[in-house]
Structure 1
Amino acid sequence: MSATTAKANPTGVAKPVRLIALLLMLAGLVMVAAGAVTWFTVQSQLADERITVSEDADWFAGDKIDGPLTAYSEAQVIEKHALEASKGKTYAELDREDPVRATVMNGSFLRASLFTSVVSFGIAAMAMGLGVVIALIGYALFLVARRLAAAPEPAV
């Protein structure tokens, strides 16, 4: 093999780099779209329940629950109310015959549902953020591919 054939050919490298760049940009855009759809679906479903944050909440009292912060705030209030009703005992600590046990159980279920929505918002935000990062990496590679394609052939 001669020295000239062993050298890298920039235009030959540019095509695969461009393809990878386009795939990364597409993947990033899909992640942003999927995250946004997830965020707005969870937000819509929470809003459809017409729940408001309890008046004795530390934050967002009286606000409509339609986002991660209001959902978290209401979950904290539900815990406070359940612990007050059970005199500080959790569901597992209450006797099976205790009539308060059903109230504490319902509170636990409601809190779990609200925390599930909080986690869903977080995952949606993470997907959108990572989508932006991946799309930007793809764009940077696309610019590199353009430079490689425009580079002169190496001298023999």
Structure 2
Amino acid sequence: MSTAAAKVNRTGPAKPVRVIAILLMLAGLVMVVAGATTWFTVQSQLADERITVSEDADWFAGEKIDGPLTAYAEAQIIEKHALESSGGKTYAELDREDPARQTVMNGSFLRASLFTSVVSFGIAAMAMGLGVVIALIGYAQFLLARSLAAAPEAAA
């Protein structure tokens, strides 16, 4: 077997594995950056609203709402306040003419908005976590490609 043929055989299986490995590492990096960008954008938008958790909340009372836990805590206390104002009835249970209906509706809208932020933080964290895992898989595959390329040399 000629030297040129040996080189083709040696790099043949390793090259596609290496290309896929690099693509996986890049995809992982993109996911980490996208997740971090989403996290910090949502955090910034919440902080810009200058909302604080109500003083009577079970957790984080008086703290600035700028993360998933504080947003969740405020959503919980809004529900408590809305139910107190309506005598324990939800929006759907109130009569159309009930004056508490508007307060409960506003509370529902605020809670939905806060929960959207909580979900956005979760998706951002998931994207970052999956990005790290995908990048690590790509790195492991890159090391595998290296060993595939070196294996014929060791056998020769």
Could you state the TM-score of these two structures normalised by the residue count of structure 1? Answer: 0.92
The answer to whether 1:40 aligns with 2:43 is no
TM alignment of 1:1-156, pairs within 5 A: 9-152=9-152
In the TM superposition, what is the alpha-carbon distance from 1:136 to its structure 2 partner? 0.1
Please give the alpha-carbon distance, in whole angstroms, between the structure 2 residues aligned to 1:155 and 1:45.
60
Q: Which runs of 5+ in 1 are unaligned?
A: 1-8
CA 1:75/1:155 → structure 2, altered by over 3 Å: closer, same or farther?
closer
Determine if contact 1:20/1:138 at 8 Å carries over to the other structure. Answer: yes
Deviation at 1:151, TM superposition (A): 1.3
Distance 1:10 1:54 in 2: 66
The letter for the 2-side match of 1:47 is A
Structure 1 consecutive aligned stretches of length 4 or more whose deviation exceeds 3 Å: 153-156
After superposition, the Cα gap between the structure-2 partners of 1:65 and 1:153, relative to the gap in structure 1 and judged at 3 Å, is same
**Structure 1 residues 139 and 79, CA, compared in 2 at 3 Å: closer, same or farther?**
same
User: Following TM superposition, by how much is the alpha carbon of 1:150 offset from its aligned partner in structure 2, in angstroms?
Assistant: 1.1
SS of alignment partner, residue 89 of structure 1: coil
When residues 121 and 155 of structure 1 are mapped into structure 2, their CA distance, relative to the original with a 3 A threshold, is closer
How many positions carry a matched residue from both structures? 148
Identity among equivalent pairs (%): 88
Superposition CA RMSD, Å = 1.4
Mapped to 1, the partners of 2:121 and 2:155 lie a distance apart of: 55
* Deviation (angstroms), 1:148: 0.7
**TM-score, structure 2 normalization:** 0.92
| Letter aligned with residue 23 of structure 2 | L
1:89-148, CA deviations, whole angstroms, 9 ceiling, x for partnerless residues? Answer: 000000000011000000000000000000000000000000000000000000000111
- Deviation, 1:11, is 2.2
Residue ranges of structure 2 left out of the alignment (5+ in a row): 1-8
1:153 positional shift: 5.7
Query: 3-state SS of the aligned residue for 1:116?
Result: helix
